[in-house]
Structure 1
Amino acid sequence: MSRAVVIGAGIGGLTAGIALRRRGWDVTVLERAPTLEVVGAGLAVAPNALRVLDALGVGDRVRSQSALQGTAGIRRPDGSWITRTDAGRARARFGDDVIVMHRAMLVDALVAALPPEALRLGLAASDVDPESGSVVTAEGTLAADLVVAADGLRSSVRGKLLPGFPGPVHTGVTSWRIVVSHPGGTLEIAESWGGGKVFGIAELGDGRVYCYATAPAPAGATAAGSAGATAAAPVGGTAAGSAGGAAAGSAGEKAELLRHFAGWHDPIPALIRSAPEVTRTDIRCLDEPLPTLHSGKVALLGDAAHAMTPNLGQGACQAIEDAAVLAASVPDLSRYTASRLPRVTMVAKESRRIGRLAGLDNPLAEWARNTAMSLAGRLGPDLILRQMDPVMNWRPPT
């Protein structure tokens, strides 16, 4: 039986472990953290990723979480709509819902699909040899026919495979994330754009609401006024994702978040005030596509391969896609690179483009953007959705 070692028990690493096991591989997933403490809060699982999870037997559990319902779209800070569509139209176009769920729920669903002995917590990989496939740990060296490097944004394995290649860059934007109790009534599911800032609202399936916000800021800035680079994560575990960085003091960050958004439309200020905890991270990404996603017996996956901005909500979805294609490609990793590199490059560039569009901070440029988007929505309700066809209509290999 062929043996695979997966480095990192994030969403991509866990999905790869499941997919490879279903293909008959003996799999060990290494995670340097002693427990699976989840970085982040909410995420979207789009139809392209749901098709993979269906094939792995996890789709129904994910669908038990909340799906986007009713109207969704983009608003101005005063609450007026720039563009909007009905979630039912998206479902009809793409064949499935977009599931919004807490990241911990997805991790739990994936862990449940792996046998307990396949997951090794508290065990880091200190070195990897791409030619032999050996993985060095504190407990000895593991021999593998395949090593899957799913060790996050600051992947040490990527650094070893591609020394000198540009690492993650700061996008000039910081982000905040909160999870709060549902305030009652009907919530409009939307992103609000204005003055270079974004505030997003989405309902989770457990009576809570996930909110995220972004604003321009220098790298490492916090409410306390400090700045500095975040240290690289060691081999053998997952780092913070494409919105990489360390969480700052929650009380100070709540005040900072209110400073940015107190004058925006309801219920944004009330949601912020109700937050028990605020997490802040800088948004970083790999701005230049890698020349390859593999070397020898090692394949890069997820943020280690293509860390992208969160503007399309596709970071986790692309990692899930990676896992399906990798399992279908082995042992020929050149097939994996040939299949995945053009697609993830396209998705990452589109996500970056939308981030720049949302972050416009010039009144004339904002007016032109909003006018064009509003006109497009009136001319064809499905025009915005149609632009997502290349992303959402992807199907896993059979």
Structure 2
Amino acid sequence: MSTAIVVGAGIGGVTAAVALQRCGWQVTVLERAPELGEVGAGISVWPSAVAVLEELGVKGVEKASAVSKPAGMRKPDGRWVVAAADLGVEIPVMIHRAQLHDLITAEFGPAVTVRTGYDVTTITQDDTGVTINDDLRADLVVAADGIRSTIRTTLYPAYEGPRYSGYTAYRGIADVDIDDGGGETWGRGQLFGFVPLIDGRYYWYATANQPAGARSEPTAFRTWHDPIPKLLAGSETVLQNDIYDLTLPLVPFVQGRVVLLGDAAHAMTPNLGRGACSAIEDAGALARHLGESTDLITALARYDAERRPATTKLVKRSRGLGRVAQVENPVVCAIRNGLFTLGGKLVSLRKPKSKVKQSRP
């Protein structure tokens, strides 16, 4: 039986373990933390990632239905810039990261072994396998150890790695009773977004331009339109993280028998909400290519050829959208908002008449 070691037990790592298990591989998952689990707040699971999870047998993540409440982009005073219904965008499933993580790990079978409290310090490989810390060996290693990946640094020591975006992010979960479909509010160098989770709570996030490493509170958003003040007041915990993505061009996702996956390969800003989804799609693509080819090296080359160009586009698009969202110049902000309004009207005019009526702001 083929063997694999997955380094990192975040969303991408555990999805890779399930995917490899379904291909008939024996998998060892290594996690630095003392316990298996996921921290954070909400996460968007787009239809393409939902499809991968369904193929892997993960239950409980369903495709979102159409928006039934007003949602879209607003100004800090509450005036609408564009409605989500006008843009005709896909609707993701919104779920807490910990809940999604539990749904995926529930599919672990006898072929998956988990070792927590394990810190990877060295990795070496030859034509027959890969060795971790001189005590573990497998046919394949999947590096899902995050944006500051130890394994990526070992493989590509000259690579610049993470790049600060120029803004920090706040996140929280609010258990509040509001009648709002959510969306984003764009100000000057600040952004606030919120969406309902499938469990009835609301996930919210905010960004603000500031130097890397500065600690702050999202107090400026307390004067923004309803229900933003209520969401802030209804959150027991507020997380703050500076936003980084990976320097372009991305390094190859494969070197020998070692594969980069998720943030270790293509960490992106959260503006498109595609980071975790891309990791899930990585896992699905890796398993598919391994299943379609009897030669490991050929399968890994096909994985890199598929996933590196696709995720490079997402890193670029997400970074570009983040720059637009975080603009501070009032004139540029006005032009930006006007273009979004015009774009929404044009898209709305081109859309065919729908038989399902949606609530509009």
Structure 2 length normalisation: TM-score?
A: 0.89
Q: 8 Å contact 2:5–2:140 — kept in the other structure?
A: yes
- 2:218 maps to 1:257: yes
Q: How does 1:148-159 map to 2 (within 5 A)?
A: 148-159=142-153
> Measured at CA, do residues 64 and 365 of structure 1 come closer, stay the same or move farther in structure 2, by a change above 3 Å?
closer
The aligned counterpart of 1:85 is 84
In the TM superposition, what is the alpha-carbon distance from 1:36 to its structure 2 partner?
2.6
After TM superposition, the structure 1 stretch with the greater mean CA deviation from structure 2, 118-127 or 41-50, is 118-127
In the TM superposition, what is the alpha-carbon distance from 1:73 to its structure 2 partner?
1.4
Q: 8 Å contact 1:128–1:136 — kept in the other structure?
A: yes
In the TM superposition, what is the alpha-carbon distance from 1:151 to its structure 2 partner?
0.2
Q: 8 Å contact 2:253–2:265 — kept in the other structure?
A: yes
One of 163, 168, 174 as aligned partner of 1:169: 163
Q: 8 Å contact 2:86–2:345 — kept in the other structure?
A: no
In the TM superposition, what is the alpha-carbon distance from 1:204 to its structure 2 partner?
1.3
Q: 8 Å contact 1:71–1:87 — kept in the other structure?
A: no
AA aligned opposite 1:322:
D
The aligned counterpart of 1:240 is none
In the TM superposition, what is the alpha-carbon distance from 1:209 to its structure 2 partner?
1.1
AA aligned opposite 2:317:
E
Q: 8 Å contact 2:142–2:258 — kept in the other structure?
A: yes
Q: 8 Å contact 1:65–1:206 — kept in the other structure?
A: no
The aligned counterpart of 1:242 is none
One of 354, 357, 378 as aligned partner of 2:324: 357
Cα deviation, 1:247-290, whole Å, max 9, x if unaligned, reads xxxxxxxxx212x2122101111221222111111001103132
Q: Point out where structure 1 has 5 or more consecutive residues left out of the alignment.
A: 92-96, 224-255, 385-398
One of 322, 341, 347 as aligned partner of 1:374: 341
In the TM superposition, what is the alpha-carbon distance from 1:192 to its structure 2 partner?
0.3
Cα deviation, 1:162-199, whole Å, max 9, x if unaligned, reads 111111011110010111112x2412311000111010
Q: How does 1:165-204 map to 2 (within 5 A)?
A: 165-182=159-176, 184-204=177-197
Q: Point out where structure 2 has 5 or more consecutive residues left out of the alignment.
A: 291-295, 352-361
AA aligned opposite 1:113:
E
Distance 1:128 1:275 in 2: 42
Q: 8 Å contact 2:8–2:29 — kept in the other structure?
A: yes
In the TM superposition, what is the alpha-carbon distance from 1:65 to its structure 2 partner?
8.7
The aligned counterpart of 2:356 is none
In the TM superposition, what is the alpha-carbon distance from 1:40 to its structure 2 partner?
1.6
Q: How does 1:1-398 map to 2 (within 5 A)?
A: 1-58=1-58, 60-63=59-62, 69-86=68-85, 89-90=88-89, 97-115=91-109, 117-131=112-126, 133-137=129-133, 141-182=135-176, 184-223=177-216, 256-258=217-219, 260-330=220-290, 331=296, 332=298, 333-381=300-348
> Measured at CA, do residues 85 and 30 of structure 1 come closer, stay the same or move farther in structure 2, by a change above 3 Å?
same
AA aligned opposite 2:202:
V
Distance 2:54 2:61 in 1: 9
Q: Secondary structure at the match of 1:147?
A: strand
> Measured at CA, do residues 287 and 126 of structure 1 come closer, stay the same or move farther in structure 2, by a change above 3 Å?
closer
Structure 1 length normalisation: TM-score?
A: 0.81
Q: 8 Å contact 1:70–1:86 — kept in the other structure?
A: no
Q: 8 Å contact 1:168–1:287 — kept in the other structure?
A: yes
In the TM superposition, what is the alpha-carbon distance from 1:376 to its structure 2 partner?
1.1
What CA RMSD, in Å, does the superposition of the two structures yield over aligned residues? 2.1
Cα deviation, 1:191-237, whole Å, max 9, x if unaligned, reads 000111010111112231111000001111003xxxxxxxxxxxxxx
Identity, in percent, stands at: 46
> Measured at CA, do residues 271 and 73 of structure 1 come closer, stay the same or move farther in structure 2, by a change above 3 Å?
same
